[in-house]
């Protein structure tokens, strides 16, 4: 029987099929090794791809401490974004003396434009189950919970089917594979609050309370779900575990950079030719990501910035293109690794507006528990709105900076601590755009409506369409003659610009 790549290393599988595609040449698939190569609804397909062999290996020949040692040695760090060493996390829970412990899979993927977790679960649900099982064995837990967004119905369905199939085959339940280890997994649906991706808020939500974070310590590894020691990891982290067990910590540790091992999955989106789901070894540069894998910027436009880490991350300008993708390099450059959102921004986008967009998101999603986040982001957003409406004042940038740094320092959880990042990083890298908006009332990307002037050019044939669509009667003119826009009456809605069939209306910003 044909079994692509199943001979030596698990991770070779998808390359055996897609390896010669240019999109894949710089990629390396560990977490996504089965995505797109097996039928996710069939446990037979997963078994064929050496599924549950890692579980068998740990149950047969490894003691729990040996499993933890192996994960520690691999250098795997949490793929949810914060990058805490996974092995250490497990060890903290393993050390606790408690009859009841929990394993949680965080599949509450909330970043706008991110779909790594969804794709991973939809493509290969069993690997998450296997990863959780291995952790359960290593730390002495009997119950696993997958916390997943209700907005991912297909992922939930496939995971449910996978759990049922795994139970039927005896991979979940009592005395797994004839051993003394028992473990089961249940699914909890999240209602889509962004803050529930934060571990303590997520646990509150599972417990039936409102999804709000609490101060740490105590950390979940000591006092987590229902007050019990809990290991919580992200989907991608779980997907890496079986490969580390089978292919070895040493091999895993040979991939990546000094402090960031293995690969990272990214959802490449925005102004890029090859939008897609990408898994690259740590240490790949942003330039490789954008130009080699992503195929560059469409329509001959110029690259302006790359936003990593979703609403908690930052925007990096062209000078950072050679930054390596790993936890520390991205942090040093002023952004974060995050869970894997990567949005490419071209010259047509206004950086102030991008910052506003992300802050609007976090402001909406702020749970309201702590003042810095609840009030601070609100005030910051007000200033940003003012700036984009042409009402920016001297000192606004400094105010944003001061507020931003305070919010970062004083907020309770990761949401607030990172919410100002998009603003602070755009101020750092694109300060001149902020200054233009404030002092010259100019938006160089012609994006901020309030700073634009619409004018009719000689191309106008006098079709009267713009006059008819204008809601404020700012357009005047007689049929077949060039029309005019009264700037005093214009409300900058852009309807005339959009409706003109002759490209006779231009928008400019001073």
Contact footprint for other proteins (CB under 8 A): 1-2, 4, 14, 17-18, 20-23, 32, 34-45, 47-48, 50-53, 55-57, 59-61, 115, 118-119, 122-124, 152, 154-155, 169-170, 176-179, 269, 273-278
- Residue with Cβ nearer other proteins (180 or 319): 180
DSSP 360-423: HHHHHH--SSSHHHHHHHHHHHHHHHHHHTT---TTHHHHHHHHHHHHHHH-SSHHHHHTTHHH
Identify the residue whose tokens are 């900058």.
492
Instruction: Tell me how far apart the alpha carbons of residues 209 and 8 are, in angstroms, rounded to a whole number.
Output: 47
- Residue with Cβ nearer other proteins (42 or 446): 42
The nearest distance, CB 112 to other proteins, in angstroms, is 15
- Residue with Cβ nearer other proteins (56 or 461): 56
| Cβ atoms within 10 Å, residue 112 | 13
What residues contact 148, with CB distance under 8 A and at least 6 apart?
Answer: 105, 107, 108, 121, 155, 156, 159, 187, 188, 189, 190
| Cβ atoms within 10 Å, residue 90 | 25
Backbone angles phi, psi at 324, to 5 degrees: -80, 145
Backbone angles phi, psi at 280, to 5 degrees: -125, 155
Asked whether the CA dihedral 103, 107, 111, 117 is positive or negative, the reply is positive
Q: For residue 100, is the peptide bond before it cis, meaning its omega torsion is within 30 degrees of 0? A: no
The nearest distance, CB 45 to other proteins, in angstroms, is 7
The nearest distance, CB 191 to other proteins, in angstroms, is 19
The nearest distance, CB 56 to other proteins, in angstroms, is 4
Largest Cα separation within the chain, whole Å, is 88
The nearest distance, CB 219 to other proteins, in angstroms, is 32
- Residue with Cβ nearer other proteins (66 or 154): 154
Q: For residue 445, is the peptide bond before it cis, meaning its omega torsion is within 30 degrees of 0? A: no
The nearest distance, CB 254 to other proteins, in angstroms, is 24
- Residue with Cβ nearer other proteins (192 or 227): 192
Nearest to 243 by CA among 43, 92, 28: 28
The nearest distance, CB 292 to other proteins, in angstroms, is 14
* 341 DSSP β-pair partners: 267
- Residue with Cβ nearer other proteins (66 or 177): 177
The nearest distance, CB 182 to other proteins, in angstroms, is 13
The nearest distance, CB 8 to other proteins, in angstroms, is 16
Enter the tokens of residue 377.
Answer: 């982001």
- Residue with Cβ nearer other proteins (212 or 280): 280
- Residue with Cβ nearer other proteins (45 or 96): 45
- Residue with Cβ nearer other proteins (178 or 215): 178
Counting beta carbons within 10 angstroms of the beta carbon of residue 468, is it exposed (0 to 12), middle (13 to 18) or buried (19 or more)?
Answer: exposed
| Cβ atoms within 10 Å, residue 285 | 17
């Amino acid at each position: 029987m044909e079994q692509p790549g199943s001979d030596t290393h698990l991770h070779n599988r998808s390359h055996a099929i897609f390896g010669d595609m240019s999109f894949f040449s710089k990629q390396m698939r560990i977490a996504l090794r089965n995505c797109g190569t097996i039928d996710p609804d069939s446990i037979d397909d997963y078994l064929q791809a050496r599924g549950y062999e890692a579980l068998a290996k740990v149950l047969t020949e490894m003691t729990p401490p040996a499993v933890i040692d192996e994960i520690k040695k691999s250098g795997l760090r949490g793929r949810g974004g914060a990058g805490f060493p996974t092995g250490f996390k497990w060890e903290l829970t393993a050390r606790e003396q408690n009859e009841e412990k929990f394993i949680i899979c965080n599949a509450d993927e909330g970043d706008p434009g991110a779909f790594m977790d969804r794709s991973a679960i939809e493509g290969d649900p069993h690997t998450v189950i296997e990863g959780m099982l291995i952790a359960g064995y290593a730390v002495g837990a009997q119950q696993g919970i997958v916390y997943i967004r209700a907005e991912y119905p297909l992922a939930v369905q496939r995971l449910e089917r996978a759990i049922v199939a795994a139970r039927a085959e005896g991979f979940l339940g009592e005395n797994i594979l004839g051993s003394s280890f028992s473990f089961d997994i249940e699914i909890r649906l999240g209602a889509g609050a962004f803050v529930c991706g934060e571990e303590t808020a997520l646990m509150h939500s599972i417990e039936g309370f409102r999804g709000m974070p609490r101060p740490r310590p105590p950390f979940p590894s000591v006092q987590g779900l229902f007050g019990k020691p809990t290991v919580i990891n992200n989907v991608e982290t779980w997907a890496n575990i079986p490969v580390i067990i089978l292919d070895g910590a040493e091999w895993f540790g040979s991939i990546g950079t000094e402090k960031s091992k293995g690969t990272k999955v990214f959802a490449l989106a925005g102004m890029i030719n090859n939008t897609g789901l990408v898994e690259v070894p740590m240490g790949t540069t942003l330039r490789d990501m954008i130009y080699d894998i992503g195929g560059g910027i469409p329509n001959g436009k110029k690259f302006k910035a790359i936003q990593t880490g979703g609403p908690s991350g930052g925007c990096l300008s062209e000078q950072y293109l050679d930054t390596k993708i790993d936890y520390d390099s991205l942090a040093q450059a002023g952004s974060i690794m995050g869970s894997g959102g990567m949005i490419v921004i071209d010259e047509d986008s206004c950086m102030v507006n991008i910052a506003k967009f992300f802050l609007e998101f976090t402001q909406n999603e702020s749970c309201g528990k702590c003042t810095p986040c609840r009030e601070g982001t609100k005030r910051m957003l007000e200033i940003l709105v003012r700036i984009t409406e042409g009402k920016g004042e001297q000192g606004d940038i400094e105010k944003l900076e001061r507020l931003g740094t305070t919010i970062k320092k004083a907020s309770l959880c990761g949401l607030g601590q990172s919410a100002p990042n998009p603003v602070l990083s755009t101020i750092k890298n694109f300060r001149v755009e902020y200054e233009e908006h404030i002092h010259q009332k100019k938006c160089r990307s012609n994006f901020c409506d309030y700073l634009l002037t619409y004018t009719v050019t000689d191309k106008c044939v006098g079709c009267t369409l713009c006059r008819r669509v204008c809601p404020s009667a700012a357009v005047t003119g007689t049929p077949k003659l060039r029309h005019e826009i009264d700037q005093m009456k214009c409300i900058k809605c852009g309807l005339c610009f959009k409706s003109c069939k002759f490209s006779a209306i231009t928008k400019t910003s001073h």
